[in-house]
Structures are given as C-alpha cells and as structure tokens.
Structure 1
Amino acid sequence: MSGQSSLDIAIVGGGLAGGLLALALQRHAPELSFALFEAGEAYGGNHRWSWFEHDLDTAGNALLAPFPKAEWTGGNDVRFPAHSRRLDSNYRSLDSRDFDAGLRKLLPQQSIRTGSKVVGLDGSGITLESGERIAARAVVDCRDAVPSEHLTGGWQVFLGQHLRTAAPHGIERPVIMDATVEQPGAYRFVYLLPLDPDEIFVEDTYYADSPELDAETLRQRIEDYVTAKGWKVEVVHEETGVLPVITGGDFEAYRASLTTPGVALAGARGGFVHPLTSYTVPIAVRNALAIAEAARNDLVSLPHLVESRAQDHWRGTAYYRLLGKMLFEAAEPSERYRVFERFYRLPEPLISRFYAARSTPLDKMRILTGKPPVSVSRAIRALLGKGAPLVQGKSP
C-alpha cells in the first residue's frame, strides 16, 4: 500500500521493537503521522516472544492487551539433573503471526508498509529499494541486531516446533528449562509451552560458543525427546533463531558503527536486549512507551533520547554480562547447566527480577554468594580475558 510522501516519524524494521513503537504512537501520540516499514511481507518475522506476568507494569500490559496471547496460570517448571522446581510466576507468549495480524488491525492502514525494504536512511527521511523517497521529521531504526566485532560473547541457538499430539500430552504449565537432556558441548535445554491439551510448542535451545545452527540435528533431538515422552506428533509450524549472548565489548564503538547522524537507533540493533537471557518483551515495551511519550513533545531530540537510554541500559545490564562471561568462559561447555541449576535454587522474587533485568544490589550479591558452580581459577581467567567477538562464522 502506498504511504504518505512526508511523515512525522518513519519506523524502519517491523519486528517487536518497531511494531510496539508504532502501536504506542497510535495510542499515545495520535496527532503524529507515522509508518512502519518492513522488508518482509509480515511484521514480526517468524518468532515467538514470551515473558512472565509481572515483567510488565500497568501501561505495559495495556500496550500488549489487544494481541491474542497464550496465557497460563499455575506457574511454571524448571528441571535439572539434581534439582526440579515449580515456580509461581505465570507466563505469557505471543506468536509473531498474531503480532502481525494485530498490528494490521490496530494501526492506520496508511501506516502499514510491509514489503518495503529501506536501502537508505538519514535524519530527514528514508529511501526504499523501489527508489521512493519519503521525508520524515524523525527516523527510528528498529531493524534486527547484527553480528559485531565490537561486542563479545556467545550464542543462543534454537529450533522450535509447534506440534499437534495424537492424544493429550499431559503438560499442564510451561517448562521454562528442561535441562535433564544430553549436554552436547553446550548448555542445552528443552522449552515446553502447552498451547492446548493436544498442541504443544517444543524448542531445543543451546548456549553455544558457535552460531552454527544444524537444523536437522535439532529436529532429530526434538523427535527423540517427544518419542521418549510417548507422544505421536505432527509438525504444525517451525521457527529457528540465532541470538547473541553479550558478555562485553566496546558499546560506544558498536553503536557508532551502526548509527546514522540524526537517526534514533533502537530495538535489538541498538542494544536493547537482556544480554544473558535474550528476553526482549519488557525492554521493548518500556522503550516503545518512552519514545512515544517523548515524541509528543520533541521529535528533534529523539536520537539523543534513545542514545541516552541505550547507554543507561548498557550500564544497567553490566552485571548480566558478567554472569554471561562466567557462563561462556569459566564453565566447561557440558557443565554450563550447573550455573542455571544453582541459580534456580534461589528465592523466586530474585529470579523474577533477573528476567525483567531489574535485579537489586542485594539480588546481585545473593547470586554470587556461596559455592560457585565454576572453578575459581577459570573464573579469574574469564574475568581477565577479552572474550570471543560476536561475529557469525567465527568460532572463539
């Protein structure tokens, strides 16, 4: 659909961050004209985003309220070789197909610009692959994160399948981590979301040193897992992903390598992620609401506002990068599960704040108190080491 040749705000990238920003603008700054530009044919790509019930405040829950979501009461489970536990926190999950449908219903039709690849952007507008130039008083870059030699860390690699079972599967609540499975040179766990009595989402996930995703191997491991459960299944849908787990680096150099003068760099590309868990919903929601509120008053200052928020987020998540460094550089790959096994013995409120990236100073102290799950000598070497660059195709 053709859009306006001049906008107040051009949002580039229709993933979670860009889509939520568009919705927040529609809700909180309806006087501003905007469009959401996405290179693909659907918003959100092929993903599933999940979060805990208490990750969002009232305003955040209101922003996500219109989307159809999977919601569970009765808490969630974690399973490790030496420790299993049921936690009280309820869980939520949003499929990108529902995200796309919701945005198409909620946003003004003239703002929907899928199949519109942006090949140039600057502080005064964007240029599409078709050659169309669209002027904008503000441009917000919410495209996907990219590998970078300026950041260090490892990778979260996963393949998930929405399965239909021939008989009820018997899983009553989400299993956030089932790490009782084989640990093949990485921290591996299976993630379970019971969507209906005879439908379940099963994801095979790895905290790995390499970004390599061997889809056939992961499919076979899921098949072995469900067979061991006695389930006969058919695959309804499949998704894959390779996400960076950031443990350090030069954030200013990273931002500088991607920033265009006058353009606000937001979303995962701008560093707005949980560096260890890759959970993005709480962060994306808070950012969308903050940017929309600021846009009502001063579009010119948006790049500065987003830059300031990015720097604050980087400083505020330093502790999680430290833990990630311990995970990837101090723990033996096949023993990494012990880090999470120990973590899940801690008080539940601490665990909830951890996933929302809101750990208190006391939480941080408590996590590091007691017998460490890695050797002291390896921990010291990890702290002194530079880490592996987050560049796809390069192993540590």
Structure 2
Amino acid sequence: MTSDLDCDLAIIGGGLAGGLIALAFAALRPEVRLLLVEQGERPGGNHLWSFFDGDVASADRWLIDPLVAHRWPQGHAVYFPGHRRDLATPYNSVTTVQLAVALERQLGDRLLTGATADAVDPRAIHLIDGRTIRAQAVIDARGAGDLSALRCGWQKFVGHAIRCDDPHGINRPVIMDATVDQIDGYRFVYLLPWDDRTLFIEDTYYSDTPDLDVPALDARIAAYAQAKGWHGEVVHREQGVLPVVHGGDFERYWPKDDPVARAGVRAGLFQPMTGYSLPDAVRFALWLANQPLDGLPAATRAYAKAHWRRGGYYRLLGRMLFGAAMPDQRWRIFARFYRLRPDLIQRFYAGRSTIADRIRILCGRPPVPIRDAMRTLWNPPA
C-alpha cells in the first residue's frame, strides 16, 4: 500500500452524511488529513435531498447552502381532498451533482472513488483490491445498518424530471398532492418546479413493505403528467426506499461491542417519522468537526443513542400511522396535521417539536379510530 492513503480521518461512504463531514472538516479543521472513500465513480449517488428553511439553523447554513441547486423563497403547497394550503416557509433542494462538485473541488486527491471496502475497523479500511487505508479514526457512513433490529414502515418513491414541451404552470413546490388514488398505503405526488419547463414529479408511498414496483410507478407518473397536460422528455430518474421507524432496539442496531464510529442513517440519525436525514446530517457534521479524533466510536454512539431517545415521540406517531390507520385512510392523518399552525409544522419536520406541539398534534378529533389507536399505543414500545 502507498503511504499517501494513510490519513488522520478516513470516512467511508460519500453520500450526504459522509460528504458533509468531509466538507465540515475541510473548512474548520484543514490540518486534519482526511480521506473520503466512495465505492462509486463519483460521490453522492443519485439522490435529491430537500429541506425547509427552518430545518437547518441559520448559523449552520454556510455548510449546506453552497450545495443548494434549487430554492423557492415563495414557499410551498399541499393538496388533500377538499383542502389546499399554501405555506410561506421557503424550500430548498440539494442535488447529487452539486454535492459531487463541491467534494471534488474541496477535497481533490483526498477523495478516493471506485473503492469498495472488504472490512472496516476503528483504525483501518481494508479494500477488496487488497489495499489498506490506515487512519487515526474511521467513520462508517455507508447507509443503513441492520434494519432487522428496527420496526419499520417505509417511505418509498420513484421520481422523474420532465422537460416539458410547454410551461408547466407550477410556481412553487407541492410537498404532497394526496388527491391521487390511494394505493399501497398513503400515496401522494411530490412536485418540484426546477424551471418554467422542467418539473420533477415523484410518486411516494407510506407503505407496510419496502417492495418497490418501479415500472408500475413509472406508469403512474406518466399518467399523472398526462392528466395535467404535461408532455415532454424524461431527463432524470431516481428511486429510493426510506425507513419510517416506529420501534426497535437501538442496542441491536448499534451494538456496544461494535467499535467503529458511525454517521448518517447507519447511526440512526434521521427523523423517524419521515425518514429524512439532511437536518441531522448537517448538525452531526458540525458537531463532529469539534470532537477529538481519539474516542470517536464511543462519542458518536452516545450522540446517536441520545438522538434515539429524543425520537421516541416520532416513533409513537409512526406506530399510530402504521398500526391504527387503515392503509387507504392514512392520508387523513396528514390532512389533519396540515391544518395546524405553520410554526408547529416546521418544528415537526426539523425534529424539534415542543411539548406543546406534541400535545396539540395528538389532541382534538382523532383521524383514526380511538380503539385502534389505543390498541396500538398500548403495544410495548421499544
């Protein structure tokens, strides 16, 4: 092995979590010799990460703002049967391309692509090509860990960006269009107008299973676009399955005897009810950049365990969604939620609901049968 692969900090996984850690260290601790190790030809994969302005603290925006490819200061909208609402909170999207360009520019030869790990330990990454990367500390940010340790529903989706022949007429993101047929759980369409002719259309489901029938969703997106009068060429595709965690065992997900530091979804750092990880990825990257490299496994595990404890309320809501609501009626939970105050909605997505918020979300006329809700809540929580 050549000595130029030795480093102070090795990050394995060049997605959002690993990429933000690398960018935070490059900006705040340039003296740390880091290496970002990605198995793909470019970091980032094929993803679109979006966030509301309130999801990321103003003092932390410097880390994520250079990666924003699209911003909608005019706010966003939601559609439900019999109810449409416009909300003023600005919305932003980060693309894989923006993340990859930033990492390539900032890291240079400290970015190692096309490198697949065979084994990882606290001070080394062993690659399948026989090379070993030795480091003072290693961070594992390779996506989800052992999800069998968690009780999950699933948010799954297929997205198409369409270059329309004519202006599409959508002037702000539509976070949820739940006026569509309810299939395979709670279904909604998500719309992002990238420009006046380019529209990202995502068909999304809160489902009991992670199975993703891509051809069927492709056809539904095409039918939705046709019904709206949008015709054109598909210029981008993506798909994904996110865990919506409503229970499980953190000690199994990240055993005490696992000595490797973790980040991102592998550490359980996401909003349990939505599966979204960008706000937590920003917070964690900036926290980590202020930690000593010695002792990272214990420090990151303690951080993740505290996050798991704070997520108990959101896991409770997930149990209600998946345990008390019939699949084709789950939209009613979200429709009721979107009648609440905008500031409450904002804090919910950021994972920062106050005690008053939590009470307000659960009180009032229930959108699911009381008996089913109580039976679900009385199940032993994890």
Question: Once the 2 structures are TM-superposed, how far is the Cα of residue 386 of structure 1 from its aligned partner?
Answer: 6.4
Question: Once the 2 structures are TM-superposed, how far is the Cα of residue 234 of structure 1 from its aligned partner?
Answer: 1.0
Matches of 1:361 and 1:29, distance apart in 2? 37
Deviation string, structure 1 residues 240-279 (Cα, Å, up to 9, x no partner): 001111001111111118x731x21111011001111122
Q: Which residue of 2 aligns with 1:72?
A: 72
Q: Map of 1:247-266 to 2, 5 A cutoff?
A: 247-256=246-255, 260-261=258-259, 263-266=260-263
Matches of 1:235 and 1:147, distance apart in 2? 35
Question: Once the 2 structures are TM-superposed, how far is the Cα of residue 65 of structure 1 from its aligned partner?
Answer: 2.7
Q: Which residue of 1 aligns with 2:16?
A: 16
1:272 has 2:269 as partner: yes
Whether the 8 Å contact between 1:13 and 1:37 is mirrored in structure 2 is: yes
Whether the 8 Å contact between 2:72 and 2:172 is mirrored in structure 1 is: yes
Question: Once the 2 structures are TM-superposed, how far is the Cα of residue 5 of structure 1 from its aligned partner?
Answer: 3.1
Deviation string, structure 1 residues 125-159 (Cα, Å, up to 9, x no partner): 11111110111000000111145221102111100
Q: Which residue of 1 aligns with 2:337?
A: 343
Question: Once the 2 structures are TM-superposed, how far is the Cα of residue 377 of structure 1 from its aligned partner?
Answer: 1.1
Whether the 8 Å contact between 1:272 and 1:284 is mirrored in structure 2 is: yes
Q: Which residue of 1 aligns with 2:98?
A: 98
Question: Once the 2 structures are TM-superposed, how far is the Cα of residue 97 of structure 1 from its aligned partner?
Answer: 1.9
Amino acid at match of 1:35: L
Matches of 2:349 and 2:183, distance apart in 1? 25
Matches of 1:234 and 1:118, distance apart in 2? 38
Q: Which moved more, 1:325-334 or 1:116-125?
A: 116-125
Q: Which residue of 2 aligns with 1:358?
A: 352
Whether the 8 Å contact between 2:146 and 2:253 is mirrored in structure 1 is: no
Matches of 1:32 and 1:260, distance apart in 2? 25
SS at match of 1:210: coil
Q: Which moved more, 1:51-60 or 1:27-36?
A: 51-60
Deviation string, structure 1 residues 64-100 (Cα, Å, up to 9, x no partner): 2322420011110000003210001000001112211
Please give the root-mean-square deviation of Cα atoms over the aligned residues, in Å. Answer: 1.5
Structure-2-length-normalised TM-score: 0.97
Matches of 1:59 and 1:71, distance apart in 2? 18
Whether the 8 Å contact between 1:3 and 1:110 is mirrored in structure 2 is: no
Count how many residue pairs are aligned between Structure 1 and Structure 2: 381
Matches of 1:3 and 1:55, distance apart in 2? 41
Matches of 2:277 and 2:255, distance apart in 1? 22
Whether the 8 Å contact between 1:122 and 1:260 is mirrored in structure 2 is: no
Matches of 1:191 and 1:68, distance apart in 2? 18
Matches of 1:157 and 1:68, distance apart in 2? 23
Matches of 2:17 and 2:67, distance apart in 1? 15
Structure-1-length-normalised TM-score: 0.93
Identical pairs, percent: 48
Matches of 2:149 and 2:377, distance apart in 1? 18
Amino acid at match of 1:82: G
> Structure 1 unaligned runs (5+)?
390-396
Q: Which residue of 2 aligns with 1:148?
A: 147
> Structure 2 unaligned runs (5+)?
none
**Segments ≥4 residues shifted beyond 6 Å:** none
1:86 has 2:52 as partner: no
Q: Which residue of 2 aligns with 1:44?
A: 44
Q: Which residue of 2 aligns with 1:394?
A: none
Q: Which residue of 2 aligns with 1:179?
A: 178
Assess, with a 3 A threshold, how the Cα gap between structure 1 residues 356 and 68 changes in structure 2: closer, same or farther.
closer
Deviation string, structure 1 residues 344-380 (Cα, Å, up to 9, x no partner): 0000000000000010001001101101111111112
Assess, with a 3 A threshold, how the Cα gap between structure 1 residues 312 and 124 changes in structure 2: closer, same or farther.
same
Matches of 1:355 and 1:203, distance apart in 2? 19
Q: Which residue of 2 aligns with 1:125?
A: 124
Whether the 8 Å contact between 2:67 and 2:95 is mirrored in structure 1 is: no
Matches of 1:203 and 1:250, distance apart in 2? 32
Whether the 8 Å contact between 1:174 and 1:193 is mirrored in structure 2 is: yes
Matches of 2:242 and 2:151, distance apart in 1? 13
SS at match of 1:22: helix
Whether the 8 Å contact between 2:74 and 2:172 is mirrored in structure 1 is: yes
